[in-house]
Amino acid sequence: MARKKQEPEKKKINTDGIMDLHGSTTEQPISETLELNYMPYAMSVIVSRAIPEIDGFKPSHRKLLYTMYKMGLLTGGRTKSANIVGQTMKLNPHGDAAIYETMVRLARGNETLLHPFVDSKGNFGKVYSRDMAYAASRYTEAKLENICTELFKDIDSDTVDMVDNYDATMKEPSLLPTTFPNVLVSANQGIAVGMASNICSFNLREVCQTAIALMENPEHDILETLPGPDFSTGGQLLFDEAATREVYSTGRGSFKLRAKWNYVKEGNLIEITQIPYTTATEVILDKVSELMKLGKIKEIADMRDETDLGGLKLTIDLKRGVDPEKLMQKLFRLTTLQDSFPCNFNILIAGMPRVMGVGEILEEWTAWRTDCVKRRLFFQIRKKEERLHLLKGLKRILLDIDKAIAIIRETELDSEVIPNLMIGFGIDEVQAGFVAEIKLRNINKEYILKQTKALDQLEQEIDELNDILNSPKKLKKVIIQELKAVADKYGQDRKTEILYDAQQIAPEEEEEAAPDYPVTVFVSQEGYLKKITAQSLRMSGEQKFKEGDSLRFSRETTNRAEFLVFTDKFQCYKSRLSDFEDSKASLLGDYLPQKLGFEPGENMVDLVFCGDYKGFVLFFFENGKAAKVPLSAYETKTNRRKLTGAYSDKSPLVKVMALDADAQMVLYSSDGRAAIFSTAQLLPKTTRNTQGVAVLTLKKKAVLQKAVLLEESGIVNEGRYRTKTIPSAGSLLKEEDAVEKQQTFEV
């Protein structure tokens, strides 16, 4: 009899628990899951990936530069980037793409840093270009820039801790002993878990001068030596003393940046040669193109990117008679040719993230650098003391060189040479070992005298080093001298020009630009809008609509009138009639969802005119509730055209209506009931997305179906449906009250 094959039992996994090795599950509280699983990940991202440390580097930067240093690329020639990337993976096992991206950012060719650390050859992209891709690592070459000498100076003198790499097969530095405050010189950005860091770059010479001034006088005004940030893309900094002092004291705030341009009269064109660090040429070109299509910029004939090996250049061809200064002011207002750099000086200090101002950062860097110099002095003293100790033993041989030779010759066993020398001359094992290793040709009085002559000099050097080590004033002097040397050797002029009396951008003058004249607006049920002038309306015939479409309402107004379009996605779109071309009765008009940029699947619910924003908006929902919101809640001081959370999302919207004053309304339910109430019974709500209050009590499965003004309802027996309190169940609609009068519905 054949044995039936036993099927393996299927494991059941409880999604609320954790499966162990045996397939069973155990419950685990969410707090414990966060503590055991998520918190270590979050801390790893903060401490070991995204936030820079006091040396100005993230771990990825440090591992790459140290690998290049160990490869001999500080003094040697360039090598293929792919070779560097492969070697770096011994320290940074996060994939070659991530390592190469780090190298690109540090490279001279990319122009991200004021003082790049990688001397690059080949295409490394550009920081000011969004679309210019850098070449693959197999095509480019790199070595370390000369300034890296200041990063690795005395790294072999125990100035920083050396720690194991990820698999404990080699050592790497926990920090690089930078001789200048690189944390403020190199721009850095990082997004961790629950926090971020965004550090702008400052001019190296100015940072060194500020660090020196603060060491000499802690009350020094930083603004005197550090007027503002300096960016690799240049541009112009709009100086604001209050904003600058806020960043310097708190580490938070922003700097306003503006593009640098000049007008070429011969060709009637504008050349933009430097742009803000925070934007890209493609972003600017796309925005200008969009504004030209919308008709908001009519002064430009053409704009193109003429960037070449000579550097960045965006060229704008002007139309005849255009004032270049006024046009640039307009572009500063409407595009990222003027932008802000948000600062968040979040730095890891002893493994803890801290947001600090410039003064506090320089204070922390000085303390850390002082510790590095102390460790270097300790190392130097220890090495000199070891040498001094050996030479003191050698000096003892001067008493009787022949005796030393005799001891070595007469000793039968090799292992007894050192002990016999120790006994014969009264020296220790280290000194005896040194004497025993001297070559035969050097066992002469001249050689020994030459070696021991350095004893006095060594003792003097050790005393001087100890003197510096024990004197805070002299330690400070050493650091200041190093800062001055770096500033003199690598300092360069500012790239970002500071404008102390920059012309403020004039307020938008769209109202002045748009002519004002009477128009009649026609809006269809499907969302087509026609704006027709009085003259055209007199000559027009019957209004044309798409098949199956009909008139929603018409209204007489002016060309500058603003209106709001509410959609079924709880959003509101704001526009002006001046943004629409004059139309004719024989045309369909502009399709609002397309013109205003609706999202896919988004539909118009209603359109209301804003007037002077003095009245209020009424919202009626299927659940029988109504909300009364002041129109002023939808007035925006900026050019924002789209408002999210424009009304409550708790129930589908039935009707939106704008009123200047309270009025009588009629509400109709789907089960044939009607109720009349006054909008004065509704209290205005300050928040746009308020749920409102119940005005109509609905029976099961019934919904509020329609809301109209009383005078437009056609109701004859008003007393039957009128209610003094809300909510009201209303009354069954009689046949004579259900007849609707044919009128134009005006909002």
- Positions marked catalytic: 139
Contact 203, 78 (CB under 8 A): no
Residue 721 near residue 730 (C-beta atoms within 8 A) = yes
Which letter does DSSP use for residue 220 in this model? -
Q: How far is CA 619 from CA 566, 575, 631, in A?
A: 10, 20, 12
Tell me the three state secondary structure of residue 732.
strand
CA 354 to chain centre: 18
Residues 659-673: b if buried by 16+ CB within 10 A, e if exposed: beeeeebbbbbeeeb
742: helix, strand or coil: coil
CB atoms inside a 10 Å sphere around CB 183: 25
**Could you tell me if 364 and 372 are in contact, meaning their C-beta atoms sit under 8 angstroms apart?**
no
CA distances from 301 to 270, 317, 335 (A): 11, 5, 17
**Cα gap 527→504, rounded to integer Å:** 40
* Secondary structure of 594-654 as H, E, C letters: HHCCCCCCCCEEEEEECCCCCCEEEEEECCCEEEEEEHHHHCCCCCCCEEECCCCCCCCEE
Of 9, 342, 337, nearest to 191 by C-alpha is 342
DSSP for 478-492, written as a single string: HHHHHHHHHHHHH--
> Could you tell me the CA-to-CA distances from 383 to 50, 389, 622 in Å, in that order?
38, 10, 86
Q: Which residues contact residue 449 at a Cβ distance below 8 angstroms, ignoring those fewer than 6 apart?
A: 398
Structure token digits, residue 428 = 């220790």
Phi then psi dihedrals of residue 66, to 5 deg: -65, -35
Please provide residue 519's backbone torsions phi and psi, each rounded to the nearest 5 degrees.
Answer: -140, 160
Query: Which 3 state secondary structure label does DSSP give 728?
Result: strand
In degrees, to the nearest 5, what angle opens at C-alpha 35 toward C-alphas 31 and 37? 110
332 CB burial (10 A radius; 0-12, 13-18, 19+)? buried
DSSP-derived 3-state class of residue 158: coil
Question: Residue 458 and residue 462: Cα distance in Å, rounded?
Answer: 6
C-alpha to C-alpha distance for 172 and 160, rounded to whole angstroms: 10
2: its two tokens = 């054949």
Neighbour-count burial for 526-560, b at 16+ CB within 10 Å, e otherwise = bbbbbbbbeeebeebeebbbeeeeeebeebebebe
